[in-house]
Chains A and B, each alone.
Chain A
Amino acid sequence: MEFLYEPWPWYIAGPVIGLTVPALLLLGNKRLGISSTLRQLCAACYPSDIPFLNYDWKKDSWNLFFVCGILLGGFIGGWLFENPATTTLAPDTVAVLQSNGVHDVSGLLPRELFTWSNVFTWQGFWLIIVGGFMIGFGTRYARGCTSGHGIFGLSALQWTSLVAVICFFVGGIICSHLILPAILLL
């Protein structure tokens, strides 16, 4: 059980993530993809009269089981057997974050920023609410996320997924370098 208490190096985590591709294909011809579950939830809870949300979501309900598993995996790996507080984050990154006012770099998310009380500040509005909105809007517009395009699409050697992943990174790099520092100063 020792491995549950320690962070996994990239050369362990990466191959395990890659193995979900054949696991899902061999278990039931399912293609790895997670952003589609957001559409599933919309279709199940409030499809309204929107054609894009009126389809038989129950036919693909396997992916709702899959994401429940991810949530459970996060609970086991991040709460039950939390990684030790000492982080191996690059010192350069710590320096950049500290110069932007983020001092506590322990855990998985900055505890100073991702708090309930911060939801109602401008900072929290941009980081949590606008950020979340852009994930849901952008992934559906791109028809895939880091899993569907980044892991599955690239594994299937789809050039369109490569275009998507490049755009994900370009957006992320611009935002992390230019926009995030301004939000952190709010």
Chain B
Amino acid sequence: MKNLKYLFVGVVFGLALTKGEAISWFRMQEMFHFQSFHMFGIFMTALPVGALSIFLIRKLNLRTANGEAIDVPEKPYHHGIIIGGLIFGFGWALTGACPGPLYAQIGAGYGVTLITFFSAVLGTWVYARVKPYLPD
């Protein structure tokens, strides 16, 4: 069960999202109206921690627990970043959730978010189907 450790990291991540109210529909509206520092505070503290740790991992040439090399590949630009990004932004404001919080909302007992989730899976499936016809 080498994958169980990722379940544990997921629990901590999900707990922080939930306790930090980053899965709250209300907090998302507050953020999109720039009426509170809360969500921006989360981003502005999460990012330096993430950035500093990637910097250190690169600088010290750290390897994984199993001695595997760690690589952070470039994300090349494609137009979908803009078009898809805008589409996702709409969905974010409507549901108050990104994919991560969607899982946490289900866990928190808001049963109807299962429908939001299945709809998101369907959206991904339809994207896969129409991908050849979309500008990349």
Listed in ascending order, the chain A residues whose CB lies under 8 Å from chain B are 3-4, 6-31, 34-35, 37-39, 41-42, 46, 48, 50, 52-53, 61-63, 65-79, 82-83, 87-90, 92-93, 96-97, 105, 108-110, 114-116, 118-119, 126-147, 149-158, 160-161, 163-177, 179-180, 183
Q: How far is the CA of A125 from the CA of B49 in the complex (A)?
A: 39
Q: Are B15 and A138 closer than 8 Å at their CB atoms?
A: no
How would you classify the secondary structure of chain B's contact residues: helix, strand, loop or mixed? Answer: helix
> Which residues does chain B contribute within 8 Å of A27, judged by CB atoms?
5-6, 9, 64-65
Q: Are A29 and B88 closer than 8 Å at their CB atoms?
A: no
What is the number of residues of chain B that contact chain A, defined by CB distance less than 8 Å? 116
Q: How far is the CA of A93 from the CA of B53 in the complex (A)?
A: 35
Q: Mark B37-48, 1 if CB is under 8 A from A, else 0.
A: 111011111111
Name the one of B18, B32, B70, B124 contacting A176, with C-beta atoms under 8 angstroms: B32
Q: How far is the CA of A172 from the CA of B3 in the complex (A)?
A: 34
What's the nearest-Cβ distance from chain B to residue A26, in Å?
A: 6
Additional pairs, 18, CB under 8 Å, beyond known A69-B11, A160-B75: A13-B19, A15-B45, A15-B49, A22-B53, A29-B64, A72-B11, A75-B109, A89-B30, A108-B23, A108-B26, A110-B26, A137-B87, A146-B98, A160-B81, A163-B77, A164-B81, A167-B86, A172-B90
Q: What are the 10 closest A-B residue pairs judged by CB atoms, nearest first?
A: A171-B89, A69-B10, A73-B14, A13-B20, A78-B108, A141-B84, A136-B123, A74-B107, A167-B85, A138-B88
Do A74 and B108 contact each other (CB < 8 Å), given the known contacts A127-B95, A132-B120, A136-B123? yes
What's the nearest-Cβ distance from chain A to residue B45, in Å?
A: 3
> Which residues does chain A contribute within 8 Å of B123, judged by CB atoms?
38, 132-138, 140
